[in-house]
């Protein structure tokens, strides 16, 4: 199923539909936008027909210099079976030849009152957001001190209970149980909640609770960039856990690597506080303050001083 159709951008940007109404349900498969200047001059060898075509003052003023036969020929070449739509900016007058070709081939022709560059930028941002690669992860997403923390782990390990404690401590819930993630850029992951379970938490023994109703609108948010993953696992005495934090484990989601910490779970450990501190420490590291490295450097200095005294 197509993520975006021409009809969606008509509604999103309040565009005026001038022709080609039969093609409003054409799919848009790329966020790239074409300004067909060379095509107006007659060069169609590398015409990116699958893109939205945006015509501004430059393209239309050149078109006026052509005779009627040539204008008709080029407008027909512009309207193909895979072209999702043609948009005219600045509320400019649309050539009759374009409207006729669009009606014949069912290519929607739309008009916007925005300037060409501004509209191109807004449309590109919208399409990149809608067409971004997406996936779903079983876990909980919480905004902790501005850090988007994805809490993962096996079912029943205590993810939702930890999220509830974090919400009580003033942090904000984004999603529970299922986190929908889209990659908006090469290093940007945005997490949201499915509409069906938005603002809801499932607590074993209590059932489903509505976090916004219980704690207010300040306890939830609709989306958050994910920068840290906390994986909860039951304590394994045979496993060696990191005690210094010198090496950072990475987790790959789609094409983006994010920092991952593995936190063992056993009775007596306050997971909410541990995750809260992990988020604060992660922020400090990004600001250039690394406690583990500072401790290692101090230890190395003490060892060197001891060796020098022995000499």
Stated pTM of the model: 0.75
Residues forming CATH 3.40.50.300 domain(s) in the chain: 134-295
Which is it for the CA torsion 102, 107, 113, 117, positive or negative? Answer: negative
67 is catalytic: no
Regarding the domain delimited by 6-131, which CATH topology (the fold level of the hierarchy) does it fall under? Answer: 3.40.1390
Decide if 138 contacts 131 (C-beta within 8 A). no
What is the radius of gyration, based on Cα positions, of the chain?
28
3 is catalytic: no
Residue among 204, 238, 239, 243 flagged as catalytic:
243
- Exposure letters 40-51 (e unless 16+ CB within 10 A, then b): beeeeeebebeb
Residue among 138, 169, 269, 286 flagged as catalytic:
138
Alpha carbon distance 153, 260 (integer Å): 12
Residues forming CATH 3.40.1390.20 domain(s) in the chain: 6-131
Show the tokens assigned to 82.
């895979």
25 is catalytic: no
159 is catalytic: yes
Binding residues are 153-160, 202
Q: Which residues of the chain have pLDDT under 70?
A: 1-2, 242-246, 307-311
pLDDT at 47: 94
pLDDT at 311: 56
CB atoms within 10 A of CB 230: 26
Binding residues for Mg(2+) are 160, 202
Show the tokens assigned to 236.
């394994």
Show the tokens assigned to 166.
């974090």
Binding residues for ATP are 153-160
**CATH code of the domain made up of 134-295:** 3.40.50.300
pLDDT at 244: 64
DSSP 95: P
Residue among 7, 73, 122, 177 flagged as catalytic:
177
pLDDT at 309: 64
Best CA proximity match to 4, nearest among 39, 33, 29, 24 = 29
pLDDT at 179: 95
Residue among 111, 159, 171, 182 flagged as catalytic:
159
pLDDT at 2: 58
């Amino acid at each position: 199923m197509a993520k975006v159709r021409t009809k969606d951008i008509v509604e999103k940007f309040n565009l005026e539909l001038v022709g080609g109404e039969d093609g409003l349900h054409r799919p848009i498969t790329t966020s790239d936008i074409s300004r067909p200047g060379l095509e107006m001059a007659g060069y169609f060898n590398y015409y990116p027909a699958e893109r939205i075509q945006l015509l501004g003052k430059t393209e239309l003023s050149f078109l006026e210099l052509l005779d009627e036969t040539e204008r008709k020929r080029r407008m027909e070449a512009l309207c193909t079976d895979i072209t999702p739509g043609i948009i005219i900016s600045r509320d400019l007058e649309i050539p009759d030849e374009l409207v006729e070709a669009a009606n014949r081939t069912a290519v929607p022709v739309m008009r916007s009152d925005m300037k060409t560059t501004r509209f191109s930028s807004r449309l590109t941002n919208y399409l990149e957001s809608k067409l971004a690669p997406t996936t779903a992860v079983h876990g909980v997403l919480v905004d902790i001190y501005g850090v988007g923390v994805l809490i993962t782990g096996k079912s029943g390990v205590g993810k939702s209970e930890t999220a509830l404690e974090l919400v009580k401590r003033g942090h904000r819930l984004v999603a529970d149980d299922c986190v929908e993630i889209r990659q908006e850029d090469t290093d940007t992951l945005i997490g949201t909640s499915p509409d069906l379970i938005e603002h809801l938490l499932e607590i074993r023994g209590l059932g489903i609770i509505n976090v916004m109703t219980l704690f207010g609108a300040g306890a939830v948010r609709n989306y958050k960039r994910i920068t840290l993953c906390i994986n909860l696992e039951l304590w394994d005495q045979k496993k060696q856990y990191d005690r210094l934090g010198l090496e950072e484990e990475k987790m790959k989601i789609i094409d983006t690597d994010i920092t991952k910490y593995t936190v063992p779970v056993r009775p007596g450990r306050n997971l909410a506080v541990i995750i809260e501190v992990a988020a604060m420490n992660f922020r400090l590291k990004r600001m250039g303050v690394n406690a583990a490295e500072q401790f290692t450097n101090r230890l190395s200095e003490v060892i060197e001083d001891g060796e020098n005294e022995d000499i």
